[in-house]
A and B are shown apart, each in its own frame.
Chain A
Amino acid sequence: DTGVSQNPRHKITKRGQNVTFRCDPISEHNRLYWYRQTLGQGPEFLTYFQNEAQLEKSRLLSDRFSAERPKGSFSTLEIQRTEQGDSAMYLCASSLGSTENIQYFGAGTRLSVL
């Protein structure tokens, strides 16, 4: 069990650029979640997958955001035309797939938009 892995750990970009983050969940975990955490706040749900199917997206996930999980393994989160308000920590978590199963979190990707 190598845990949930997120890359990169830090990303600095200029406003208007596109960025992509990757999350590798714990193997055999079929659910994968993305959250966003801004300074001084708790994480906020963005979206989740069960296997390769994206089952729910938050209203926080604007059209500039897209997430994929091809083949039901790793996932990517892309932000197009970044804005300064996108600066945050993006957290990924995975679980075995029932509501009560524990979500295991990665260390996160910290995005800074200049």
Chain B
Amino acid sequence: AQSVTQLDSQVPVFEEAPVELRCNYSSSVSVYLFWYVQYPNQGLQLLLKYLSGSTLVKGINGFEAEFNKSQTSFHLRKPSVHISDTAEYFCAVTYYNQGGKLIFGQGTELSVKP
């Protein structure tokens, strides 16, 4: 079955420290990958996406992610986090010819402390 696994349910980190949120997906020939962020009582906002081309993708708010096909991973990174980055982060995948429906991971709660 197609699935996405986010390896950490909670990640506490101090302000200005680097952070990595891990994501693995079940293998497929053609896959598109996304990271979404959800602030309390709000909908999901797209951070970045991988469709094709360069395996390093840059998104909003200083986030970036690297697509690794051999390890079926799409980890999210930020070199220096801010208090305002505190939120829930979701990794998602959609497979070619699947109508665009997204399969989400369980989410990672990023908590940035001063």
Establish whether residues A91 and B44, one from each chain, have CB atoms under 8 Å apart when the complex forms: yes
Establish whether residues A56 and B101, one from each chain, have CB atoms under 8 Å apart when the complex forms: yes
- Interface flag for B83 (CB, 8 Å): no
The docked-state distance in angstroms from the alpha carbon of A43 to that of B94 is: 13
Interface segment out of the listed B12-20, B64-72, B73-81, B102-110:
B102-110
Establish whether residues B49 and A102, one from each chain, have CB atoms under 8 Å apart when the complex forms: yes
Chain A residues with Cβ below 8 Å from B41 are 107
| A48-B101 in contact given A42-B90, A105-B44, A107-B43 (Cβ < 8 Å) | yes
- Interface residue range, chain B: 20 to 34
Complex interface residues of chain B between 79 and 114 (CB less than 8 A to chain A): 90, 92, 94, 96-107
Question: Which of A31, A40, A56 meets B107, CB within 8 Å?
Answer: A40
- Interface flag for B56 (CB, 8 Å): no
Establish whether residues B99 and A99, one from each chain, have CB atoms under 8 Å apart when the complex forms: yes
Establish whether residues A98 and B42, one from each chain, have CB atoms under 8 Å apart when the complex forms: no
Chain A residues with Cβ below 8 Å from B42 are 107
- Interface flag for A87 (CB, 8 Å): no
The docked-state distance in angstroms from the alpha carbon of A50 to that of B98 is: 13
21 contacts between A and B (CB under 8 A): A31-B100, A33-B102, A35-B102, A40-B106, A40-B107, A42-B104, A42-B105, A42-B106, A42-B107, A45-B101, A45-B103, A56-B101, A98-B100, A100-B49, A100-B51, A100-B100, A102-B46, A103-B102, A105-B36, A105-B43, A105-B45
Known: A31-B99, A45-B101, A104-B46. 8 other contacts (CB 8 A): A33-B102, A35-B104, A41-B106, A48-B99, A93-B102, A99-B94, A99-B97, A103-B100
